[in-house]
A = this chain, B = another copy of it.
């Protein structure tokens, strides 16, 4: 048995999205206990020119969707960034997981060698599949999930590394 792209993508996405979902629940509970609107946390950021929590969740969703869809050669569904409430963000997370779960394992065959092209405003990024996974998609996904953790921790929500690593 060797490590597979499908296993790497599914394990990472499933755990990351579950962690995000759990952190949103902890944010909601904290806001309720302290008696403030959880929207304050959703709009919080760590620097004036960084994205707030809501956008970090949307970007984690996009990264998870893109990682799975691109490596499996699927057409990516478009998720409009319209979420403004915590239940809407949780629904976005669930929708992302449902898309990743819908991909047939066989679609990942040859994913390591797949040519990945990502148009950005400035340029078109081009990767071989394994490079895209290890050097772009994984760090990107963890970046946004950790950003959510840090924003919440900075605002007093009780989270620990164990919450971040998630259930085994």
Chain A binding surface, main DSSP class: helix
Smallest beta-carbon distance A81→chain B, Å: 17
Within 8 A of B (CB), among A88-146: 112-113, 130-131, 133-136, 138-140, 142-143, 146
Cα A139 to Cα B11 with chains together (Å): 11
A35 interface residue (CB < 8 Å to B): no
The answer to whether B161 and A143 touch across the interface, beta carbons within 8 angstroms, is yes
Q: Which residues of B contact A130 (CB under 8 A)?
A: 1, 3, 7
The answer to whether A143 and B164 touch across the interface, beta carbons within 8 angstroms, is yes
The answer to whether A3 and B8 touch across the interface, beta carbons within 8 angstroms, is yes
Indicate how many identical chains form the complex. Answer: 2
Cα A88 to Cα B113 with chains together (Å): 40
Cα A26 to Cα B147 with chains together (Å): 20
Cα A136 to Cα B161 with chains together (Å): 11
Mark A1-30 against chain B: 1 for CB-CB distance below 8 A, else 0. Answer: 111110110011001100000000000000
A168 interface residue (CB < 8 Å to B): yes
Of B1, B5, B12, B47, the residue contacting A138 (CB under 8 A) is: B12
Within 8 A of B (CB), among A42-92: 46-47, 50
Within 8 A of B (CB), among A139-166: 139-140, 142-143, 146-147, 149-150, 153-154, 156, 161, 164-166
Name A's B-contacting residues (CB within 8 A): 1-5, 7-8, 11-12, 15-16, 46-47, 50, 112-113, 130-131, 133-136, 138-140, 142-143, 146-147, 149-150, 153-154, 156, 161, 164-166, 168
